[in-house]
Structure 1
Amino acid sequence: MLIDIFHDTVCPWCRIGKKHLFDALSQWQQETVNIRWHPFLLDDTVPASGYEFRSFMQERKGIQPEALENLFNETKLIGAASGVKLDFDKITLAVNTKLSHQLIAIAPDDIKNQVVEAIYQAYFEDGLNIGDINVLVEIGKTYHMEATELRYQLENHNFFDKIVAESSFARLNGITSVPFFILNNKIQVKGSGSVELFIQALNRAVIMEAKI
């Protein structure tokens, strides 16, 4: 089973969708699953220094502070119901996510899923700046990535062109929002879904594959 996941690392719904998918996979367990992570840059205009989080989100959503807090609270509750922690009070910066996607690209396949989750945790639970190389190097070190080489690759932006190209390619091919999941190049799941929805999609993908 091949699963392509389009996401951004500052998207709370992407973290919720990831949790739903992985919970579904833990129940399903019918065959080996290969997951490929694809960047989808929600806003690549954010500078390296970032923007103040709440004012940026108010402008982006076109809503007043009270409505924004209500949105955060609703999202936080939905996340909690899925077993995902989203602490918007700790987030102070809206960040450019290219560097965090670069860390995912660099990470070996056997730890890539864990690195993705660690980046989500750093941002949504610890309020860390995941556009900061030092933060990303520390995440990599947790998974035994060699710090000096990792810092060199991040500082030299080795994957930036590929990340931007992948994100643009996704938009050109009709993906307008994330999370977005494609199973075996055939079954699409748009949005964060639910565990039950992902189990149904996995079963459909197997049936469609068997018909070939």
Structure 2
Amino acid sequence: MNPVQIDIVSDLVCPWCYIGRRRLEEAMRQIPEVETQIRWQPFELFPQIPVSGVERHAHMTQVFGSVRRRDSIFAEVARTGQAEGMDLRFNTIRHSPNTFLLHRLLWKAGQQGYQDTLALALFKAFFTDNRDLTQLTQLATVLAPFGWSPSQLDQFLTSDEGTATVRHQQRLYQFMNITSVPTYILNNQIMLVGAQPPERFVKAITQAARIAPLPTAV
């Protein structure tokens, strides 16, 4: 079988992206004979959010139309996460960040070989630890295990390193008419939309492994 490259078009404030990654992990565990590589690709659900972030509850109320609908949706997603062994604490998230800077960090991590691990750390920091990822000190705590000092992080975030590349990637997936996340692209040929159950991932990965991969676009 061919190795399978899995591009995950995602945003770091999307709980279904986090749940989907957990289900994908279970699928990969079931088919150890297939070599897989995960790459995270940028998508911003709320690009209008300022760099300083916004108050989470008010913003989500605006997104969903009412407090009741917001709370109902989050309760349902939390129950789904709990069934996957995940602790999603929506009620205590105080700030929603602009995620473009986080996508730049993931791009940088991809250059250094720990992109997937960092993505999982950022998801946990936001949804479980409820860290305010607009704050340098909070972000530095997440990045410290990866060898980043606060000064290195500040220097990177205030630079434009990776900006053009991440913008290009975003435009590419917009051109591909990807409008929701998570979206999974396997060997540039098979696309899945949404946090699929493990058995669906197993089927798609196995199918992709039997097809010669196409050249990557990014």
Displacement of 1:76 after TM fit?
A: 0.3
Q: Distance in 1 between matches of 2:132 and 2:164?
A: 22
1:5 — aligned with what?
8
1:177 — aligned with what?
180
Q: Distance in 2 between matches of 1:36 and 1:20?
A: 16
Q: Distance in 1 between matches of 2:34 and 2:112?
A: 18
Displacement of 1:147 after TM fit?
A: 4.5
2:88 — aligned with what?
86
State the superposition RMSD in angstroms: 1.7
Q: Distance in 1 between matches of 2:191 and 2:73?
A: 27
Displacement of 1:83 after TM fit?
A: 2.1
Displacement of 1:183 after TM fit?
A: 0.7
Q: Give the partner amino acid of 1:106.
A: K
Which aligned runs of 4 or more in structure 1 are off by greater than 6 angstroms? none
Equivalent pairs: percent with the same residue? Answer: 29
TM-score, normalized by length of structure 2?
A: 0.89
Within 5 Å, which residues of 2 pair with 1:48-87? 48-61=51-64, 63-87=65-89
Secondary structure of 1:131's aligned partner: coil
Q: Give the partner amino acid of 1:64.
A: S
Displacement of 1:16 after TM fit?
A: 0.6
Aligned residue pairs total 209
1:98 — aligned with what?
100
Displacement of 1:101 after TM fit?
A: 1.2
Q: Distance in 2 between matches of 1:109 and 1:88?
A: 31
Displacement of 1:145 after TM fit?
A: 3.4
TM-score, normalized by length of structure 1?
A: 0.91
Query: Please, which runs of 5 or more residues in structure 2 have no aligned partner?
Result: 214-218
Displacement of 1:146 after TM fit?
A: 4.8
Which range moved further: 91-100 or 160-169? 160-169
Q: Distance in 2 between matches of 1:110 and 1:59?
A: 38
Change (3 A) 1:196 1:27: same
Q: Is 1:209 matched with 2:192?
A: no
8 Å CA contact 1:98–1:131 kept in 2: the answer is no
Q: 2:169 aligns with which of 162, 166, 170?
A: 166
1:34 — aligned with what?
37
Q: Give the partner amino acid of 2:91.
A: D
Secondary structure of 1:128's aligned partner: coil
Query: Please, which runs of 5 or more residues in structure 1 have no aligned partner?
Result: none
Q: Give the partner amino acid of 2:152.
A: E
8 Å CA contact 1:99–1:133 kept in 2: the answer is no
Change (3 A) 1:18 1:45: same
Change (3 A) 1:142 1:111: same
